[in-house]
Amino acid sequence: MTGTESKKQEILKAYQLRHACKAFDTNEKISDEDFHFILEAGRLSPSSFGFEPWKFVVIQNETLREKLIPVSGGAKGQLPTASHFVVILARREEGLRIGSDHVNKMFKHIHHMPEEIVQDWSDFYNSFVETELEDNDRLIFEWSIRQTYIALGNMMTAAAQIGIDSCPIEGFDKKQVTAILQNEGIINGDDFGVACMVAFGYRQKDPKRPQTRQPLDEIVEWR
């Protein structure tokens, strides 16, 4: 088997072993080095216009986790047991408009665009917002949330490739979770909103049945 074939099999094996882990082994903790690797997979993820409209809040404080349990039904098993628990925030609409501090930072200080390029991209982006997102605050925020799922997927895949389990979570009360994070000073003002959650750790036990998926030929159409 060639190096490429071996790598492909390694990646597919990680996908096949990964499952939505409902509870984790509390006796096993992810090392700092391994979790940094997972976060790097999120940080290096692509995003529309390169705006990186996300923030990864790693919640290790047990008291804060306990506050989240009553309003996070989909994470009742993961919040008390996960080695690492992440709430992914998405940048809200005001921070994604031309002229905002964040957009200026990304254009000028992260991507180091010359002024004339900034103007061209600004015109292009404004056109995108006006046509594709209908210049609508809600649609802009939803578009921002969709970007975070790219990072979410990459983090879970990276974790699986080094033998770490995970579970993506959408089952929570956004308003109440947001209120808790605001009270804790994690969300300040209207800069960010809650997109999703994800738990990481090591499984307590293997799932009762192997992973099931539809056959490839039923979900792929060639034209």
Higher pLDDT, 218 or 210: 218
pLDDT tens track for 17-26? 899 999 999 9
Measured in degrees and rounded to the nearest 5, phi and psi for residue 52 equal 45, 65
DSSP 3-state of 114: coil
Higher-confidence position of 61 and 2: 61
pLDDT at 2: 81
Q: Which residues pair with 124 in a beta bridge?
A: none
Burial class (CB in 10 A: 0-12, 13-18, 19+), 12: exposed
Q: Which three-class secondary structure string do you get for 153-211?
A: HHHHHHHHHCCCEEEEECCCCHHHHHHHHHHCCCCCCCCEEEEEEEEEECECCCCCCCC
pLDDT tens digits, one per residue of 167-195: 999 999 999 999 999 999 999 988 999 99
pLDDT recorded at residue 172: 98
Does residue 112 surpass a pLDDT of 80? yes
CB atoms within 10 A of CB 117: 12
Q: Is the pLDDT of residue 79 over 90?
A: yes
Beta-carbon contacts of residue 85 (< 8 Å; ≥ 6 apart): 58, 59, 60, 65, 75, 78, 79, 197, 198, 199, 200
pLDDT for the residue numbered 26: 97
Tens digit of each residue's pLDDT (9 = 90 or more) over 188-211: 988 999 999 999 999 998 888 888
The whole-model pTM stands at 0.95
Task: Tell me the mean pLDDT in the region 136-157.
Answer: 98
pLDDT of residue 210: 82
pLDDT above 90 (res 1): no
**What backbone torsions phi and psi does residue 164 show, to the nearest 5 degrees?**
-105, 135
Of 141, 158, 198, give the one whose Cα is nearest residue 21.
198
Please list the residues that pair with 38 across neighbouring strands: none
Q: What is the mean pLDDT of the chain?
A: 96
What band does 104 get if pLDDT is binned at 50, 70 and 90? Answer: very high
Q: What is the pLDDT of residue 202?
A: 98
* pLDDT at 158 > cutoff 80: yes
User: Domains of the chain by range and CATH?
Assistant: 21-204 (3.40.109.10)
Rounded average pLDDT over 22-44: 98
Instruction: Identify the pLDDT of residue 179.
Output: 97
Q: How far apart are CA 88 and CA 81, in angstroms?
A: 18
